[in-house]
Amino acid sequence: MRINKFLAEQGVASRRGSDQIVAEGRVTINGRRAVAGDDVGADDVVMVDGKTLSHKVKYEYYLMNKPKGYVCTVSDDKGRKTVMDLLPAGAGRVFPVGRLDYDTEGLLILTSDGNLAYRLTAPQSEIAKTYLVRIEGTITEQQLNRIRAGVEIERGVVTKKCKVNVIETSKTYTKLRVVITEGKNREIRRMFEAVGKNVDFLKRLKIGDLALTGLDRGAVRRLTQEEVFYLKNL
């Protein structure tokens, strides 16, 4: 395996970034300074900035446009369809990162990389997640400001500040873009319920700057190495 590919699979950098790291003389193979085009075998000792990299199992990373009607679990004791049913044949033993509820659509990451899953879901990471929300009827600026400032969704549980912007409105519905940095159970639906509004459509559009662009409902694709690197460094 070429050194730049090996470094990318270790999450050190993208392939292009790995080429730069090699060019800077920061990488050694068996004590020798690595150069572009070097190959790495299973028995080689690779170090970056003096730190040894292990020949760990190659992780898998998928991006899914989850449709409604699927649960975000590996299996379901109620016999409901799970997001695992949408994975292509030959996909490894991956698991969904976080959860979108049964009636929520949109961007979902599935991986076998537990460290990345933890990084993306840990409360202290505060990674921005962008949603398209449609509510019944209209909403006032006062109600929007309550949500933006944080609302109590159950006794003693108050949401963090968030961004909410109206993008379309009519007499019967309002569409909004909502950006949150936490992931409490059914959080967005409960935020709007707290100001007396019912969410009838909810779709996650982005995690950080990683977006669903070009992926049909129910479709799945592998994440690129650059996307994996981006997520690991959010």
| Domains of the chain from N-terminus onward | 3-53 (3.10.290.10), 61-124+211-232 (3.30.70.580), 128-207 (3.30.70.1560)
Strand partners, 152: 158
Question: If you average pLDDT over residues 1-11, what whole number do you get?
Answer: 81
DSSP state of 192: H
* CA quadruple 223, 60, 65, 16: dihedral, nearest 10: -10
CA dist., res. 102 & res. 177, Å (int): 20
CA dist., res. 221 & res. 126, Å (int): 25
Please list the active-site residues.
101
Q: What percent of the chain has pLDDT over 70?
A: 98
Question: If you average pLDDT over residues 41-54, what whole number do you get?
Answer: 89
pLDDT band, very low/low/confident/very high, at 56 (cuts 50, 70, 90): low
Report residue 95 as tokens.
């698991």
CA dist., res. 146 & res. 140, Å (int): 10
Q: What percent of the chain has pLDDT over 90?
A: 67
pLDDT of residue 35: 94
For 72-125, how does the pLDDT look when each residue is reduced to its tens digit (9 = 90+)? 988 888 889 999 999 988 887 788 998 899 999 999 999 888 788 888 988 888
pLDDT of residue 11: 64
State the average pLDDT for the chain.
91
For 20-37, how does the pLDDT look when each residue is reduced to its tens digit (9 = 90+)? 899 999 999 999 999 999
**Backbone conformation region of residue 41, classed left if phi is above 0, alpha if psi is from -120 to 50, else beta:** beta
Predicted confidence (pLDDT) at residue 38 exceeds the cutoff of 80:
yes
Neighbours of 112 (CB within 10 A): 17
For 148-162, how does the pLDDT look when each residue is reduced to its tens digit (9 = 90+)? 999 999 999 999 999
